[in-house]
């Protein structure tokens, strides 16, 4: 299972770790798929550039992101008594699928969320700035309309919670009626 950032720039997952340190991209019925051919494992039938590492040989898990980020490694231990969540050790039987346990996957997801948090915060900031700018344009248009109907700067300032002078300084140039010059008439030809 993977996760995608709001901007679709980051895709993360809890990757299985092969004995040589490579990180899995997905799994098949035969085991975990790893990019590259070492000759130690069978190539995948559907993806000849990938090897199938049996579940029993997976040595741990690590958060991985499409941008290249990697989280700290979680170790797969050989017995339940060796498992210690605080030391990043978890037990998955050699006979079971080597996917990370839900608890480890949740911990890796939290690490990945911390990795994408700055870009997620910037997206929120960009959205807030767009909303702010739209609201500012709407407010300026509404002030101009109020001024055109005869509202005073004191009235406008009171309506938006600022002083008359502040309202005048902020919107006077935007609220001024537009002066459109009439086109000059050209005399008829021959005159």
Quick one: 102 and 18 in the same domain?
yes
Task: Return the closest-CA partner of residue 74 out of 108, 112, 116.
Answer: 108
Domain coverage including residue 146: 133-175
Write 96-100 long-range contacts (CB < 8 A, 24+): 96/55, 97/27, 97/55, 98/16, 98/31, 98/32, 98/55, 98/56, 98/58, 99/14, 99/16, 99/27, 100/14, 100/16, 100/61, 100/74
Quick one: 103 and 145 in the same domain?
no
Q: How many beta carbons lie within 10 A of that of residue 20, not counting itself?
A: 12
Quick one: 107 and 60 in the same domain?
yes
Is residue 191, in this structure, part of any structural domain at all? no
pLDDT tens for residues 21-72? 999 988 888 889 999 999 999 999 899 899 999 999 999 999 999 999 999 9
pTM above 0.85, yes or no: no
- Position 43 scores a pLDDT of 92
Cβ-based neighbours of 59, under 8 Å, separated by 6 or more: 17, 18, 19, 75, 76
- Total count of domains within the chain: 2
Is residue 188, in this structure, part of any structural domain at all? no
Residue 179 has pLDDT above 50, yes or no: no
Q: Which DSSP symbol is given to 48?
A: T
Residue 159 has pLDDT above 50, yes or no: yes
């Amino acid at each position: 299972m993977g996760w995608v950032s709001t901007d679709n720039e980051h895709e993360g997952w809890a990757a299985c770790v092969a004995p040589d340190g490579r990180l899995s991209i997905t799994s098949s019925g035969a085991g975990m798929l790893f990019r590259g051919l070492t000759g130690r494992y069978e190539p995948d039938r559907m993806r000849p550039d990938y090897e199938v590492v049996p579940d029993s040989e997976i040595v741990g898990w690590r958060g991985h992101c499409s941008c290249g980020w990697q989280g700290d490694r979680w170790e797969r231990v050989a017995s339940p008594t060796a498992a210690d969540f605080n030391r990043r050790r978890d037990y998955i039987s050699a006979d079971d699928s080597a996917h990370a346990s839900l608890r480890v996957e949740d911990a890796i997801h939290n690490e990945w969320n911390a990795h994408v948090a700055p870009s997620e915060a910037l997206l929120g900031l960009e959205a807030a700035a767009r909303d702010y700018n739209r609201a500012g344009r709407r407010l300026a248009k509404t002030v101009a309309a109020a001024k055109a109907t005869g509202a005073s700067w004191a009235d406008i300032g009171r309506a938006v919670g600022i002083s008359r002078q502040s309202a005048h300084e902020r919107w006077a140039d935007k609220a001024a009626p537009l002066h459109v010059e009439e086109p000059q008439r050209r005399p008829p030809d021959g005159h």
